Amino acid sequence: MTAKLIDGRALARRVRSEYRMRVERLVARHGRVPGLAVILVGDDPASHVYVSHKTRACAEVGLQSHVHRFGTEVSQAEVLACIAALNSDLSIDGILIQLPLPKHFELPLVLGSIARDKDVDGFHLYNVGALVAGDAVFPPCTPYGVQKLLEAEGIPVAGQNVTVVGASNIVGKPMALMMIRQQATVALCHARTRDLAEFTTLADILIVAAGFPNLIRSPMVRPGAVVIDVGINRLPSGQLVGDVDFEGVRQVASHITPVPGGVGPMTVTMLVCNTVGSAERRWGNELGVEKTYGADESRANSEGEKT
Ligand code: NAD
């Protein structure tokens, strides 16, 4: 078997053109353009690249974006003051702190200072709690992008075994919660998991976000499984690879995401979606505002209410 490639770039293009129309309708109706503010602290080259992808995606759908840049030595108080000003700025619909922050920042305090109705990355504790309860307004962008990829490919989740490798707050844990919400049976693995293959071979859908090239090789994958590679690693040669041995695993999987060109473009796209959704809600518009995450499932299925 050679796996079908899941093309994240193509889906990202389709979603962005749909959201571009939603932005145009907002502008026509309200005479102003939704805005995203990004706070970028320090000189981490990868962070600068990610921020430029995000601002480019905003421009593509017609959103305004404003990057607030600070040097590594900036005080936490100064950044908190910037966030407070953005919280009350009516032209801003979404606020994002590019992570990681330098070590002298208290991350929970900084993330918690973002107005929860502008928390488009979904990292405020309110939104984290809402995700646990199954009703998040702002699902975190990377797992939300994975969910959209599965949906677009018509891959059913309910009743499937899903193994998530990596248990970070920004990818693995919210990913597992979203899959539980969709009534999958979920295993969440991490660096202390004793026998990783025991769990990966159980998976109908294997989602990998550990940050280790070639962590997942073909004997660890159930034949016919769907494999979603979230990892982004730069090899000494400069090549960008995921966490999955792509050439080996594509011989056994039914579907696989490439790196680059799989999950990455969707992460950035979901940020745009969350920002447009925020503007639509905040401006009280009646254009089919994206529902809170999981609202449909909770009405349709009482099992969902219990999870
Ligand atoms: P992280 O370092 O915060 O967390 C890594 C997780 O993987 C931890 O839970 C750790 O216990 C687990 N892990 C590490 N080694 C493992 C092993 N040998 N076996 C099992 N689990 C192991 O990383 P993160 O921020 O969650 O990112 C993970 C990867 O995803 C990185 O490569 C990152 O660059 C990538 N990423 C990609 C996107 C995207 O849009 N494609 C977005 C965010 C992160």
Is residue 268 packed enough to be buried (19+ CB in 10 Å), middle (13-18) or exposed (0-12)? buried
CATH number for the domain harbouring residue 94: 3.40.50.10860
What are the tokens at 77?
């108080």
168 CA to middle of ligand 1, Å?
7
Q: Residue 179 sits in which domain range?
A: 141-263
The residue nearest atom 16 of ligand 1, judged by CA position, is 191
What is the pTM (predicted TM-score) of this model?
Answer: 0.93
CATH number for the domain harbouring residue 209: 3.40.50.720
Atom index in ligand 1 nearest the CA of residue 172 equals 26
Q: 108 and 155: one domain?
A: no
Averaged pLDDT score across all residues of the chain: 93
Q: What is the pLDDT of residues 154-188, one digit of tens each?
A: 999 999 999 999 999 999 999 999 999 999 999 99
Identified catalytic residue from 93, 118, 119, 121: 121
Q: For residue 291, indicate whether it is catalytic.
A: no
Q: For residue 160, indicate whether it is catalytic.
A: no
Does 281 map to a domain?
Answer: no
Q: 59 and 158: one domain?
A: no
273 CA to middle of ligand 1, Å?
23
231 CA to middle of ligand 1, Å?
6
Q: 145 and 248: one domain?
A: yes
Q: How many domains does the chain have?
A: 2
The residue nearest atom 17 of ligand 1, judged by CA position, is 191
Q: What is the pLDDT of residues 210-257, one digit of tens each?
A: 999 999 999 999 999 999 999 999 999 999 999 999 999 999 999 999
What are the tokens at 91?
């032209």
Contact residues for 182 (Cβ-Cβ < 8 A; gap 6+): 147, 157, 158, 297
* Residue 238: CB atoms within 10 Å: 6
CA dihedral 43, 46, 48, 52 (to 10 degrees): 180
Q: For residue 135, indicate whether it is catalytic.
A: no
